[in-house]
């Protein structure tokens, strides 16, 4: 019995420590009150579940534990906060399984439900953390070849030279094979300059072409389902026109939102123009990076008070001097 209690004590400590790491991520990295509360409650429920075991901590023998000096290289390396949280979640699940199995010999019966709660909280936390490349773009070029007055490569190269930091491929009518080739070529052009490439609607193409992200509309696959396909290899953006859509994108693990439309546009018909009022509400909400989109030009961009990033199409693609237009837009951003 003594050795069994040593096992339970070690794994109870391991589980509580893992939960604390996850709780701090929810609290300080995500500012998510509900997730923080749920993780804290699970930590307390675990402590209560093992509290009736006879003198659990009295069976602890750290100096005599042969495993304290055994480690692997991966245990000593964490490349990002995402890896810290992922490792904590896996450690939690393993510890709870050990407690559950060995606890059965002592009549401990409440651990299985705690383990299932832990799995769900781990899933929510991972989804909310999004991609490690999470960032706020300043100017995203929405590229559609048919709108370009110059050859599309010239448009992209001029835009990059003038300060564009993201290119989103929007080719609704292009066949998959041609789209894949287009995205691969864009990656070759953009990556040396540190410019991200985002693919509209197609996570499969984005993955195969080694792009940086995928952008989803309200009628496309939900962000959490796409995350199951792309893991943390891709940024996920979601188009929104209301705060409830932004909140849903946030909860499903999106990395940024499109915010709009700001103004009437000939590129994509919208029945409702939400305008700068929605931008203001979005900025006040402040949970995710965002790109204001829809009819933005050098003539109206200054109406977007406090804007952090914009996505533009017609005013750049349809210009004889796309680089000059991008430079004007960049100079007008706060």
Tokens at 309, concatenated: 């990033």
pLDDT class of 83 with cuts at 50, 70, 90: confident
Distances, alpha carbon 315 to alpha carbons 147, 159, 238, in Å? 10, 12, 22
Q: 51: helix, coil or strand?
A: coil
Q: What is the pLDDT of residue 32?
A: 85
Query: CA 38 from chain center: how many Å?
Result: 21
Q: What is the pLDDT of residue 135?
A: 82
Tokens at 288, concatenated: 């995710």
Q: What is the pLDDT of residue 68?
A: 63
Burial (CB < 10 A; 0-12, 13-18, 19+), residue 261, is buried
Half-sphere exposure of 37 (CA within 13 A, CB side): 3
Alpha-carbon distance 275 to 304, whole Å? 9
CATH of span 139-332: 3.20.20.70
Alpha-carbon distance 77 to 91, whole Å? 15
Other CB atoms within 10 Å distance of the CB of residue 58: 10
pLDDT class of 2 with cuts at 50, 70, 90: confident
Q: Are 309 and 137 in contact (CB under 8 A)?
A: yes
Report pLDDT digits (tens) over 144-189: 999 999 999 999 999 999 999 999 999 999 999 999 999 999 999 9
Alpha-carbon distance 98 to 75, whole Å? 19
Say how many residues make up the chain.
334
Q: Is the pLDDT of residue 271 over 80?
A: no
Alpha-carbon distance 100 to 96, whole Å? 6
Q: What is the pLDDT of residue 79?
A: 67
What pTM value is reported for the model? 0.74
Q: Is the pLDDT of residue 74 over 60?
A: no
Mean pLDDT, range 270-296, rounded to an integer? 94
Tokens at 54, concatenated: 């006879």
According to DSSP, the β-strands at 256-259 and 235-240 are parallel
Alpha-carbon distance 243 to 129, whole Å? 20
Q: What is the pLDDT of residue 117?
A: 96
- Tell me the range of 104-108, 115-119, 270-274 where mean pLDDT is highest: 115-119
Alpha-carbon distance 67 to 271, whole Å? 64
């Amino acid at each position: 019995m003594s050795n069994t209690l040593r096992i339970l004590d070690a794994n109870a400590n391991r589980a509580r420590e893992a939960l604390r790491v996850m709780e701090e991520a929810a609290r300080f990295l995500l500012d998510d009150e509900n997730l923080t509360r749920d993780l804290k409650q699970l930590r307390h429920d675990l402590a209560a579940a093992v509290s009736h075991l006879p003198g659990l901590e009295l069976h602890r023998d750290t100096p005599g534990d042969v495993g304290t000096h055994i480690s692997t290289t991966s245990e000593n390396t964490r490349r990002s906060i995402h890896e810290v949280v992922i490792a904590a979640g896996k450690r939690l699940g393993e510890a709870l399984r050990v407690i559950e199995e060995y606890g059965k010999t002592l009549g401990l019966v409440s651990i299985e439900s705690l383990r299932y709660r832990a799995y769900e909280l781990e899933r929510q936390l991972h989804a909310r953390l999004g991609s490690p490349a999470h960032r706020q773009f300043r100017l995203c070029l929405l590229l559609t070849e048919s709108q370009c007055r110059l050859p599309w490569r010239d448009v992209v190269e001029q835009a990059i030279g003038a300060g564009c930091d993201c290119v989103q491929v929007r080719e609704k009518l292009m066949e998959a094979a041609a789209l894949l080739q287009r995205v691969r070529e864009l990656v070759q052009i953009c990556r040396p300059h540190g410019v991200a490439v985002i693919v509209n609607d197609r996570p499969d193409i984005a993955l195969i072409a080694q792009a940086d992200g995928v952008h989803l509309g309200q009628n496309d696959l939900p962000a959490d389902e796409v995350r199951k396909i792309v893991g943390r290899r891709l940024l996920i953006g979601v188009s929104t026109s209301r705060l409830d859509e932004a909140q849903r994108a946030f909860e499903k693990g999106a990395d940024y939102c499109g915010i709009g439309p700001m103004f009437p546009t000939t590129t994509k018909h919208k029945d409702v123009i939400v305008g700068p009022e929605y931008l203001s509400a979005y900025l006040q909400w402040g949970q995710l990076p965002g790109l204001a989109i829809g009819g933005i030009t050098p003539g109206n961009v200054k109406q977007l008070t406090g804007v952090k990033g914009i996505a533009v199409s017609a005013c750049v693609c349809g210009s004889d001097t796309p680089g000059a237009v991008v430079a004007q837009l960049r100079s007008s951003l706060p």
